[in-house]
Structure 1
């Protein structure tokens, strides 16, 4: 056994599925082993990270959920390893399991049953401090759109305007599954902001709602095995999106990318765009 990952291997081998006490040890040993690997090289870190990520996440999820999420346990883990501090490697684990539990709760109950602190955790993750894998997981923040305590749409717009539009895209990818009209409202606000640049990049992720039952994240999870998928995108929502596209993006740009996007950009351009520009 390689010395750098020995603490993690022992914790994985010694953990009993569903036992929360073992997870506190596992998180600590994950962090130690990732730091050991990083001290050797970036390549070594990436190899170890991807080799053991799925098994570690599965154990955390099994301990966190017994029918319903144990939010108190998850909050203990989140408090021990907060996001956006850059001094540990556990954010990706917690973000993945929080994302699963947020989706479970939204679908089985309603948006306001999601604890505000859980959404806040995802909403504070940054690429700079938490790296790309955790940032990708944090898009599940979008399932909180419409929450009475957490201004998901406003915060997503603010980050888009602060040059974090790729994170906003990942949020939109999730939000359109949770509440299509609210997600399209947010998309329109992003398009109309003078402080944003991206336009069709956002729709690349949002179009997944047309062909898939759930977004691709959280990793290593098959939500259809335990949840009913959200209702398909309604005709009304689809038409609303075409109107937003047509009214906010140059019609010739829409026509140029029509064959690359599942939504009917040609119709958005001709029915809702400025005919003088065609």
Structure 2
């Protein structure tokens, strides 16, 4: 299906190509025709990348002064710069040289703007960079997901789970479903999805059940986040998943028998009884420090986890005086 630009009428095969297209600098028909017939006048990927990065720096500076319009431009310029960096980048070095210096800056800018303007601005960005629209997720997906995760946690801690927009939860879930296994950074930035557990209009538990067999490496850390949001709802879900024998995948181990996925899920409670381990996502955001957050595991929840370990036989290889740290993988 072709996607047409409302301004200039040019058609694009994917929404991503349409987003990357910039007809804001209006060109004459003569120049446009010459560009299409004389490839030597076309900008090189390096030129396009350098221009996009320069534009991105300028837009981030503007956004820091409260210019909301510049924020949308910054995200678009970041996408353009990343797209240009991919051209002919067989090693991935050029792409990384653009992505990592700006991932934090653009995430910070989106986060600050959302704190100032509310969720509506971030939802607009989510809509513009839909991870389900094309065959490939947008290149800025990890950065947008980072800002979504920060504000999801912040909303849960300062308001109520129902104040989290459903669109934000659907966005993170859609990334987990649609991002390829090679998209490590994007898949890691969705772990804060667990803070939406108990949402009245979007069932985190249902989605994690569906994803458990095929997406165990995302479900496990997401469930870890869920314990900090609502340990009672999280332990309910942990019990259900660990008891579900239809989740029959295994993780290979060199010197021991393969580890069942259901046993691996117990790794999510590794840090619940200590204050020196916190989930590492979203990047660049120490939410427990921002809110001086403390966590105390309820004794009944601890007992339920211990009984679950013994009931399922996953305690056979543990020491007699095992702790939650011994459940770590």
TM-score range, shorter chain: 0.7 to 0.9
Contact 1:139 1:171 (C-alpha < 8 Å) held by counterparts: yes
Residue of structure 2 in register with 1:106 after alignment: 156
Alpha-carbon separation, structure 2, partners of 1:64 and 1:203: 34
Q: 1:231 aligns with which of 286, 295, 298?
A: 295
**CA positional deviation for 1:19:** 2.6
The structure with the larger Rg is: 2
Runs (5+) with no aligned partner, structure 1: 266-278
The residue number in structure 2 matching 1:276 is: none
Deviations 1:11-49 (A, max 9, x none): 223423143211111111111111111123223212321
Question: Scaled by the length of structure 1, what TM-score is found?
Answer: 0.84
CA contact (8 A) 1:5 1:34 kept: no
Task: Quote the Cα distance in structure 1 between the aligned partners of 2:118 and 2:268.
Answer: 30
**Does the 8 A contact of 1:177 with 1:214 survive in 2?**
no
Distance 1:9 1:245 in 2: 55
The runs of at least 4 consecutive aligned structure 1 residues that moved more than 4 Å come to: 255-259
Which structure: greater helix fraction? Answer: 1
2:262 is the counterpart of 1:199: yes
In the superposition, the TM-score normalised over structure 2's length comes to 0.72
Listed as ranges, the matches of 1:1-278 within 5 Å are: 3=47, 4-15=49-60, 16=62, 17=64, 18-41=66-89, 42-66=92-116, 70-84=118-132, 85=134, 86-126=136-176, 127-128=179-180, 131-161=183-213, 163-196=214-247, 197=249, 198-212=261-275, 214-255=278-319, 258=322, 261-262=324-325
How many residue pairs get matched?
260
Q: Within 1, Cα distance between the matches of 2:205 and 2:327?
A: 25
Q: Distance in 2 between matches of 1:233 and 1:200?
A: 21
Is the 8 Å Cα contact of residues 116 and 150 (structure 1) preserved in structure 2?
A: yes
Q: Is the 8 A contact 1:92 1:130 kept in 2?
A: no
SS of the residue 1:209 aligns to: coil
Q: 1:208 to 1:83 in 2, by over 3 A?
A: farther
Q: 1:264 to 1:174 in 2, by over 3 A?
A: closer
Q: RMSD in angstroms over aligned alpha carbons?
A: 2.5
Q: Distance in 1 between matches of 2:156 and 2:183?
A: 27
CA–CA separation in structure 2 for the residues paired with 1:156 and 1:191 = 12
